[in-house]
Amino acid sequence: MTPSQKNLLSLLSHALFRHAMPENITGLDSIMAEADVQGVLLMVYHALARNSLYRSGIEKWKNPAHRLAANNIRIFQYHELLHEWMTKARIPYVILKGAASAEYYPDPYLREMGDVDFLVEDKQLATVGRILETQGFTRLNEKNPQHIVYLNPIVFFEMHFQLPGMPDGSPGRMIDSYLEDIYTQSRPYGKGETDMIVPSPFHHGLILLLHTSHHLTGEGIGLRHLCDWAVFENSLGEEEFTAIFEKKLKDVGLWEFAKILTMLSCFYLGAPPRKWASVSEPGILLQSLIQDMLASGNFGIKDAERSNQTYIISSRGKNGVGNTNILQQFFSSINRIVTLKWPASHKYRLLLPIGWLYFGLGYLVNILKGKRQKIHPGKMLAGAIHRRKIYAQLRLFQAEAPDNEQRPDLAVKRACRKEPRS
């Protein structure tokens, strides 16, 4: 971990949990550049700009920060419009991820926003689509297993009919049962004067875990994802959190992941230690994960090769990580692509090899045309193997036994008193 990355983590702990501002900060431009690719520039800029010692050193980042702030305001305004349209049409909906996460931040407007993500029932998709088109949105012509995109010149709307990161098999079916009351348990946004409907704490926490595992095992995640989890988890008391989450997350194999994300938040973002969040020998795993996040940046922006590695790591975590060998995983990933683009191949399996050839050649043509990132097989394989070893330790979607006892937390409490590690 570089000195700039260490300072960045300290600044985030100050912004999120009111820890003391680090002293004698140097390399401001490097810190801001890292904050930018990690999706946390606005928070870091705000923290530094309030200190006269650093204001001149971040002057070049003033305009980018102001653009991000203006974009946040626009995105919140579009959430209000969506609420108005859905309320008028009497259509149940719930906001996912970004704006719903912002509520838990000390200042919601400092959480960088991307687009408007919301969930509606399958039976409402066509109706909501017509509403958006009436409001000047155009449907993006793409096939996605979880959402439909509508856009105008200013903003993207992702209309979800499935949560990103839903696993295969029995964990997926159980999570579906958890979501049966997502609309009845939803609630109005709780900060400021913005009107929108957001998930209950349980559903929001579940959505964060699914979304984070989906992108972590795909192109990668940056510090913004970790910040989202840190402020959310910290909004609940320890007993409250375990009462809401422990049994249900153990049953679907996400409790270990929740503990690890919480420990990462404690070690590196200064979140308060939690008795329930303990894993055996956490040091090496946590260091590997934070280095992975820092190497990735927000949605893998720092390393384009990571998106190619996705195909041999897992099926974006849907089937766990490390349960199949790399060759099996590669063909499983390719089969998913073919069946998504050619739904008939679900029934007629002989279409799969034809799809491998057809879409594979199309991919190569796009590489030659410069429309796709070139593949470097050696680098891709080495990176995928390294990441698989890390992610396999998360035990994603591996249900825990009912009598699984809490591990001792003494080492965790001691570690969380220390400064973030390199």
Q: d(Cα 97, Cα 208) in Å, to the nearest integer?
A: 7
Residue 308 is predicted with a pLDDT of 84
261, 225 contact by CB (below 8 A): no
Q: Are residues 185 and 238 in the same domain?
A: yes
- Is the pLDDT assigned to residue 412 strictly greater than 50? no
**Distances, alpha carbon 306 to alpha carbons 186, 220, 288, 296, 368, in Å:** 35, 7, 16, 8, 19
Please check whether residue 225 lies inside any domain of the structure. yes
d(CA 407, CA 405) in angstroms, rounded, equals 6
E strands present in 107-254: 116-119, 138-139, 147-151, 156-160, 187-188, 197-198
* Residue bearing tokens 């909501």: 128
Structural domain includes residue 359: yes
* Strand 156-160 versus strand 94-95 pairing type: unpaired
> 32 with 44: CB under 8 angstroms?
yes
Which among 234, 240, 294, 295 is positioned nearest to 270, based on CA atoms?
Answer: 234
CATH number for 134: 3.30.460.40
Task: Clarify whether residues 93 and 186 are in a common domain.
Answer: yes
Name every residue whose Cβ is closer than 8 Å to that of residue 348 and which is 6 or more positions away in sequence. none
**Distance from C-alpha of 81 to C-alpha of 326, rounded to nearest angstrom:** 46
Kindly state whether residue 164 falls inside one of the protein's structural domains: yes
Q: Domain for residue 398, yes or no? A: no
Q: Is the pLDDT of residue 162 over 70?
A: yes
Instruction: Report pLDDT for 408.
Output: 38
My answer on whether 155 and 92 are in the same domain is: yes
Mean pLDDT across 86-98? 96
In a domain, 400, yes or no: no
Distances (CA, A) of 96 to 51, 58, 163, 189: 34, 33, 9, 12
- How many of the other CB atoms lie within 10 Å of CB of 67? 11
Residue 420 reports pLDDT greater than 70: no
> What's the length of the chain?
422
56 with 120, same domain: the answer is yes
Whether residues 326 and 291 fall in one domain: no
The answer to whether residues 87 and 166 belong to one domain is: yes
* In-domain check, residue 401: no
> What range does the domain containing 318 cover?
311-392
pLDDT per residue as tens digits for the range 184-201:
999 999 776 779 999 999
Residue 62 lies in a domain: yes
Residues 120 and 222 in one domain: yes
Q: Tens digit of pLDDT for each residue in 203-241?
A: 999 999 999 999 999 999 999 999 999 999 999 999 999
Q: Are residues 287 and 382 in the same domain?
A: no
Which residues does residue 150 pair with via DSSP β-bridges, in sequence order? 139, 157
pLDDT digits (tens, 9 = 90+) for 26-68: 999 999 999 999 999 999 999 999 988 899 999 999 999 999 9
Name the nearest CA neighbour of 217 among 294, 328, 315: 315
Same domain, yes or no: 106 and 197: yes
Residue 43 shares a structural domain with residue 84:
yes
Distance CA 51, CA 45 (A): 10
- pLDDT beyond 60 at 343: yes
List phi, psi (to 5°) of 412: -65, -45
Is residue 234 a part of any domain in this protein?
yes
Same domain, 264 and 372: no
* Residue 193 pLDDT: 72
Residue 404: predicted pLDDT: 45
Nearest Cα to 212, choosing from 299, 147, 118?
Answer: 299
Task: Tell whether the model's pLDDT for residue 177 goes beyond 90.
Answer: yes
pLDDT surpassing 80 at residue 258: yes
> Is the model's pLDDT at 106 over the cut of 90?
yes
Band (293; pLDDT cuts 50, 70, 90): very high
Least confident span in 7-11, 239-243, 309-313: 309-313
Look at the chain and report how many structural domains it folds into.
2
Flag whether pLDDT at 421 surpasses 90. Answer: no
Shared-domain flag, residues 369 and 276: no
Residue 410 confidence (pLDDT) above 90: no
